[in-house]
Amino acid sequence: MSVHRFSCLFIACTLAGGCASFHAASDNPLDSEQVTVATGDDDLKEAVESGDGRDATADERLDTAIAPELRAKARDAREKLDDPGQTDTGALAEEEDLWNRLRHGFALDHDIDNARVQAQLDWYVRHPKYIQRVVERGRRYLYYILSETEKRNLPSEFALLPVVESAFDPFAYSHGRASGLWQFIPSTAKYFGLTQSWWHDDRRDIIASTDAALEYLERLSERFEGDYTLALAAYNSGGGTVSSAIRRNLKANRPTDFWSLELPRETRHYVPKLIALAKIFDHPEAYGLELPPLKNEPYFEVVDTGSQLDLAQAAELAQVDIDEIYLLNPSYNRWATHPDGPHRLLVPREKAEAFRTALANFPVEQRVSWQSYKVRSGDSLITIARRFHTTPSVIQQVNKLNSDLIRVGQRLLIPSATRDADAYALSASNRLERKQARQRSGHKVRYLVRRGDTFWDIAREHRVSVRELASWNGMAPSDPLIPGKELVIWSKSANAAALASTSPRGKSMVRKVGYRVRKGDSLYAIANRFSVNVSDIASWNGLNTSRYLQPGQSLVLYVDIRNSP
């Protein structure tokens, strides 16, 4: 294999110049010093290690290795994630084999003699089931990712980075709030135009997240003068972290290559993982491993839907299982595509043309189910939206409302799912519900979040770790806790059931109340009146704090009634 390595001789000049072109904004991830802790790789590794070579045990543990949002699907989802249905195991000609195409684009130094690489390599060789699993998961996505990597003239090893980041689990969510195949944290996602809403999360979109990740890697490669190991390190820990490490070494007259830098522990093992994987994929036979054959052809096609579409309808029109639709379109949180687009779906290639034909003959008005609802006393757009599993903004758009004011007796059209909720097994709410229902050790407690609660306080009272508590509820420890949210706790405390009512915090009397905005009201005035925070009111009601409240507007508040007026 020809090795393509770039010199770091110009880095000193770049740093001396201050890297001005990359410091235009303080939120630029190229300047970040935040380490992104990935999830899927370590989770799946732990699953394989705990199997002790017994397939049944290993498979049971592998169900829980699928990161938070997919664990709830248990064995059925694992089988679908790990087996896209390609059963051809015959030998492939070189030009038909995706592995050969992958190898032709390798550009990192696989011959590096480094203990960190060897340690990762030894682990992979001892656990061939790990390689088998990530390959089966990656079948859906690898052709597309490799093609996009080649378009940018980046090393094809980068196409294997989702193995390190997420073990090719599109629903992976880490305790560091990183999500998707490429494990984007919210701030980096926002910088690269990956949006999040009630309907969707672009960090999990196969096309959008791959484009953003490769754009990020391309810019980092330019920043570090073509040194791909430094670019990879910066993808994990931020360009600022790597630049600082280089400056320290320059000052101490030490080498500035990746292997010589003092970097965070996560980052020091990050690049060796990828190189070890590439060595295995380059010469699997040298390590006593055999890669399943993978055809050099697309797994999916992109189909323009033209409008919002119920995912159950899409599965029926495409003649595929609805879970397959979710696994190819994991960005969708709910039962349908986003009403504002992009209006596209990824479907298996062999089903694409039939899907286009069926969709063209399917009436637009039937693509989403509609219900007529008569507004009752006490209703607000928020309460109606929750009842029908949608959002106030969607109801406003559909009914052409200029504000969130509604009147008793008014008729509203509400978009709704065409099937029962259980049919949408991989929607965000169903993933969370089944995740919370999964049996674990300890005493199961359902806990309603109160104002002032923190993960640390709740975890300490129930003698569990913050990371466990967050994971059981499909969250990260840094996610906000909103009063009124129900948590599931597998408490290690002997008096778990009584704990909530006997703890000092449990004596608070938090209640959900409705409030109608009056003339002259402001968020600050309402927050002060009810002894809550402005940010809490905004979070509870999906408000933009820079906009004025309108008289008659309905708000939901969670207040301690002892402190309310």
Tell me which residues are annotated as active site.
Answer: 165
Separation between Cα atoms, residue 218 and residue 152, nearest integer Å: 8
Separation between Cα atoms, residue 502 and residue 492, nearest integer Å: 16
120 Cβ contact partners less than 8 Å away, ≥ 6 residues apart: 269, 272, 273, 275, 276, 277
∠ CA(159), CA(333), CA(81), 5° rounding? 45
Q: Are 440 and 80 in contact (CB under 8 A)?
A: no
What amino acid occupies position 73?
K
Tokens matching residue 210: 């791959």
Following CA atoms 77, 78, 80, 85 in sequence, which dihedral angle do they give, to the nearest 10 degrees? -170
Q: What's the burial of 485, exposed, middle or buried (CB within 10 Å: 0-12/13-18/19+)? A: middle
> In the beta sheet, which residues pair with residue 486?
448
Q: Locate the DSSP E strands across 426-469.
A: 443-448
Separation between Cα atoms, residue 383 and residue 391, nearest integer Å: 9
Separation between Cα atoms, residue 381 and residue 547, nearest integer Å: 18
Count the alpha carbons within 13 Å of 33 in the hemisphere toward its beta carbon.
7
Separation between Cα atoms, residue 82 and residue 131, nearest integer Å: 12
Q: Locate the DSSP E strands across 312-466.
A: 344-348, 369-374, 411-416, 443-448
288 three-state secondary structure? coil
- Which 8-state DSSP code applies to residue 152? T
Separation between Cα atoms, residue 410 and residue 375, nearest integer Å: 5
Q: What's the burial of 315, exposed, middle or buried (CB within 10 Å: 0-12/13-18/19+)? A: buried
Phi, psi of 316 (to 5 degrees): -65, -45
**Strand duo 369-374 + 411-416: pairing:** antiparallel
Separation between Cα atoms, residue 500 and residue 176, nearest integer Å: 27
Pick from 40, 277, 294: nearest CA to 157:
277
438 in the Ramachandran plot: left (φ > 0), alpha (ψ -120 to 50) or beta? beta
What amino acid occupies position 323?
D
Q: Are 161 and 178 in contact (CB under 8 A)?
A: no
Cβ neighbours of 499 (radius 10 Å): 20
Separation between Cα atoms, residue 112 and residue 231, nearest integer Å: 17
